[in-house]
């Protein structure tokens, strides 16, 4: 028998997780059932192309069993199983390298939400168990292995007897804790030995699992010709097996949508919204899409992987199909199920698949429409979305030389000089006063910095609103747009704002002429630091200002200079 320690990192995370993130410890069951279902999906998919599997769809199932005397709950599946190495890798380490890296850079103890984003599903078993035993025989292997752990300290591995392919997980439940005199602090784990409790948990969290979840239930009935009752055992299928996305929208509760999301997408917070669509045009598909309510910890890094699950007629054929989502909507999670896709389609073929491209285009429209609707009908929610993912939309405009600007420009929001609220370009243009023909903006590192810029005064005095660009990508993105509704964007930091009347201009020219010597002297004193020194008619409460001429603004030049390489 081999005895191993969990990695130090895993230990710490596991400890925090067990004690803090799950407010509902009951969801361990959903996690384990979902893993069992994933494992069956994998073997079922294999069985479609590999005769040696020797299984039909109807052979697959998940079995739950309780043993009150031993205080155990066992979850068994006949899925693909795990090899010894897979058990070590998947059950012996808690987080992937990306999240570990993240953990080092951030103080995780302070932020439980983030822990929730790791793949810690299996470990939730320790919230209710004093000991967890996993026996597994992987498809294609002869030797089965048993993994056993009592939590943080470590685990043991050994060979074991198991004739059938699949995994059996036995939980030895923790002892109940009595409440104190005031009734606080009690914990009940025996509830997970109650068949009706288990039944209702499966209904609640795992009803849509597409393979039967079966349990022997003890029931009682009246004996024939007698008033006496007798007990009998019936094997009951606990779930309806209808995939959520095939149900009617009005039959699905918000809680079901949310719980499905949390299960499938590995998030522990409810999503911001869901989109459930059935498309029956030239191509038929169902899609269930979600927008998370917060930015995934690695979202703006190269570690983030976008994509949707892809099903062909109810069979999972790809866990993360990237081609279904454009980069600017890469935050969307969920799945697509289409009857029109062929099952044995390969990864390479998918990339060139016309039907897939069609689905992707249609999904893109769905997302765009949903966001626009949200912006219109629930501004608060939209701003929450924008806070999390707005940056990505701006990158989307900037990428591909503004090719997607028409799709994305109406989803943008900016702070402005008006009232501290975020404003869309359309709102800006709609409330432009008579005589204003440009969209004014000022770029800087913060709103406070921008507001203190001398150049904003003259524009505001004119009664014109100024958009505040506080993110590096802002100015690059709007340059790609080359205007909005035939209005040009105009930086208030440009030297030629052309806001003066003819008279004012003339006066300034004369002054410029008469102050020539002085200006030359200043220019000389600042040589190498500025390109030119001019009189300005734009200053009110500030003595001087810097402004730019030509293609690059000062802020853009700063960004480019700061870029590596
Ligand atoms: P996730 O499901 O998000 O990958 P989990 O912690 O729930 O994270 O599971 C970790 C891994 O352990 C799974 O990805 C899978 O490879 C493996 N695993 C867990 N349970 C099973 C099972 N019943 N059969 C086969 N593999 C399993
Ligand atoms: Mg899981």
Comparing CA positions, the residue from 536, 522, 524, 523 lying closest to residue 493 is 536
* pLDDT tens track for 528-543: 777 777 766 666 666 6
Contact 303, 100 (CB under 8 A): no
Comparing 4-13, 16-25, 261-270, 303-312, the range with the smallest average pLDDT is 16-25
The pLDDT of residue 141 is 97
Count Cα atoms within 13 angstroms, Cβ side, for 492.
30
Task: Give 122 Cα–ligand 2 centroid separation in angstroms.
Answer: 6
For residue 189, the SS3 value is coil
Q: Is the pLDDT assigned to residue 1 strictly greater than 80? A: yes
The pLDDT of residue 214 is 98
Q: What Å distances lie between residue 536 and 151, 244, 367, 454, 553, CA to CA? A: 72, 66, 47, 11, 18
The pLDDT of residue 99 is 41
- Band of residue 303 on the pLDDT scale cut at 50, 70, 90: confident
The pLDDT of residue 510 is 76
Q: Which of the pair, 63 or 54, is modelled with greater confidence?
A: 63
- Mean pLDDT of the 400-425 span: 92
Q: Is the CB of 108 under 6 A from ligand 1?
A: no
The pLDDT of residue 103 is 47
The pLDDT of residue 113 is 42
Q: Which of the pair, 289 or 454, is modelled with greater confidence?
A: 289
Chain-centroid distance, C-alpha 561: 32
Pairing outcome for strands 308-312 and 284-291: unpaired
Q: Is the CB of 167 under 6 A from ligand 1?
A: yes
Q: Is the pLDDT assigned to residue 527 strictly greater than 90? A: no
- Mean pLDDT of the 503-509 span: 75
| Atom 10 of ligand 1, nearest CA residue | 90
Q: Is the pLDDT assigned to residue 444 strictly greater than 70? A: yes
- Mean pLDDT of the 69-94 span: 91
The pLDDT of residue 559 is 67
Report the predicted TM-score, pTM, of the whole model to 2 decimal places.
0.69
Q: What is the mean pLDDT of the chain?
A: 85
Q: Which of the pair, 276 or 313, is modelled with greater confidence?
A: 276
Closest ligand to C-alpha of residue 123 is 1
Q: Is the CB of 39 under 6 A from ligand 1?
A: yes
The pLDDT of residue 112 is 42
Q: What is the helix (H) or strand (E) element at residue 220, kind and residue range?
A: strand 213-222
The pLDDT of residue 344 is 54
Q: What is the ipTM of this complex?
A: 0.99
Q: Is the pLDDT assigned to residue 100 strictly greater than 50? A: no
Which residues are part of a known binding site? 31, 35, 77, 82, 97-98, 117-122, 167, 347
Q: Is the CB of 36 under 6 A from ligand 1?
A: yes
Q: Is the pLDDT assigned to residue 39 strictly greater than 80? A: yes
| Atom 23 of ligand 1, nearest CA residue | 36
As a whole number of angstroms, the distance between CA 2 and CA 565 comes to 49
Q: What Å distances lie between residue 130 and 93, 150, 162, CA to CA? A: 19, 6, 23
What tokens does 262 get? Answer: 């949390």
The pLDDT of residue 526 is 76
Task: Give 115 Cα–ligand 2 centroid separation in angstroms.
Answer: 14
Comparing 10-19, 160-169, 409-418, the range with the smallest average pLDDT is 10-19
Percent of the chain with pLDDT strictly greater than 90: 49
- Band of residue 301 on the pLDDT scale cut at 50, 70, 90: confident
Q: What Å distances lie between residue 90 and 27, 163, 297, 321, 390, CA to CA? A: 20, 22, 21, 23, 35
Q: Is the CB of 266 under 6 A from ligand 1?
A: yes
- Mean pLDDT of the 480-500 span: 85
Q: Is the pLDDT assigned to residue 46 strictly greater than 60? A: yes
Contact 93, 220 (CB under 8 A): no
Top mean-pLDDT range of 302-316, 343-357, 382-396: 382-396
As a whole number of angstroms, the distance between CA 104 and CA 110 comes to 13
Q: Is the CB of 556 under 6 A from ligand 1?
A: no
- Band of residue 462 on the pLDDT scale cut at 50, 70, 90: confident
Comparing CA positions, the residue from 97, 157, 155 lying closest to residue 123 is 155
The pLDDT of residue 184 is 78
The pLDDT of residue 75 is 98
Comparing 304-313, 391-400, 490-499, the range with the smallest average pLDDT is 490-499
As a whole number of angstroms, the distance between CA 512 and CA 330 comes to 53
* pLDDT tens track for 106-142: 444 444 444 444 445 788 898 899 999 999 999 999 9
């Amino acid at each position: 028998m081999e005895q191993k320690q969990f990695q130090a990192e895993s230990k710490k995370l596991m400890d925090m997780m067990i004690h803090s993130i799950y407010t509902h410890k009951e969801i361990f069951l959903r996690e384990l059932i979902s893993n069992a279902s994933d494992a069956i999906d994998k073997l079922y998919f294999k069985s479609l192309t590999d005769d040696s599997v020797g299984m039909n769809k109807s052979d697959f199932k998940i079995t739950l069993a309780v043993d009150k005397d031993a205080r155990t709950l066992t979850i068994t599946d006949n899925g693909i199983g795990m090899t010894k190495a897979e058990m070590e890798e998947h059950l012996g380490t808690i987080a992937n390298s990306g999240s570990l890296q993240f953990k080092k850079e951030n103080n995780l103890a302070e932020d439980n939400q983030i822990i929730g984003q790791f793949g810690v599903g299996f470990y939730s078993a320790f919230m209710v168990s004093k000991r967890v035993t996993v026996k597994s025989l992987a498809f294609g292997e002869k030797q089965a292995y048993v993994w056993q752990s009592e939590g943080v300290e470590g685990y043991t591995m050994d060979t074991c007897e198991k004739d059938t392919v699949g995994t059996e997980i036995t939980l030895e439940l923790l002892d109940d804790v009595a409440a104190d005199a005031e009734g606080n602090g009690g914990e009940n784990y025996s509830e997970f030995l109650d068949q009706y409790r288990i039944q209702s948990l499966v209904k609640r969290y795992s009803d849509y699992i597409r393979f039967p979840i079966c349990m022997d239930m003890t029931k009682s009935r009246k004996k024939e010709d007698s008033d006496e009752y007798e007990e009998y055992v019936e094997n009951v299928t606990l779930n309806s097996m209808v995939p959520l996305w095939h149900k009617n929208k009005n039959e699905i509760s918000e809680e079901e949508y949310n719980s499905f999301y949390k299960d499938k997408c590995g998030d522990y917070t409810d999503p911001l919204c869901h989109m459930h669509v059935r498309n029956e045009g030239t191509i038929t598909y169902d899609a269930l899409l979600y927008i998370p309510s917060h930015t995934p910890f690695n979202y703006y890094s190269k570690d983030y992987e976008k994509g949707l699950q892809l099903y062909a007629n109810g069979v999972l054929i790809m866990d993360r199909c990237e081609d279904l989502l454009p980069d600017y909507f890469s935050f969307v999670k969920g799945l697509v199920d289409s009857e029109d896709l062929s099952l044995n389609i390969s990864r390479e073929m998918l990339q060139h698949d016309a039907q897939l491209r069609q689905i992707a285009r249609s999904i893109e429209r769905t997302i765009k429409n949903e966001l626009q609707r949200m912006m219109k009908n629930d501004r608060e929610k939209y701003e929450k979305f924008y806070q999390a993912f707005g940056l990505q939309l701006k990158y989307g405009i900037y990428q591909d030389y503004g090719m997607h600007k028409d799709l994305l420009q109406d989803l943008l929001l900016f702070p402005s000089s008006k009232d501290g609220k975020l404003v869309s370009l359309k709102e800006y243009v709609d409330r432009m006063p008579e005589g204003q023909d440009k969209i004014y903006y000022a770029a800087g590192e913060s709103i406070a910095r921008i507001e203190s810029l001398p150049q904003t005064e003259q524009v505001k005095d004119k009664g014109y609103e100024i958009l505040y660009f506080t993110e590096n990508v802002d100015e690059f993105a709007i340059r790609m747009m080359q205007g909005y509704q035939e209005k040009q964007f105009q930086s208030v930091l440009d030297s030629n704002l052309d806001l003066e009347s003819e008279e004012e201009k003339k006066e300034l020219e004369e002054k410029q002429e008469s102050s020539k010597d002085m200006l030359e002297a200043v220019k000389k004193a600042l040589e190498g630091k500025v390109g030119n020194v001019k009189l300005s008619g734009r200053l009110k409460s500030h003595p001087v200002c810097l402004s730019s001429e030509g293609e690059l603004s000062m802020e853009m030049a700063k960004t480019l200079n700061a870029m590596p390489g």
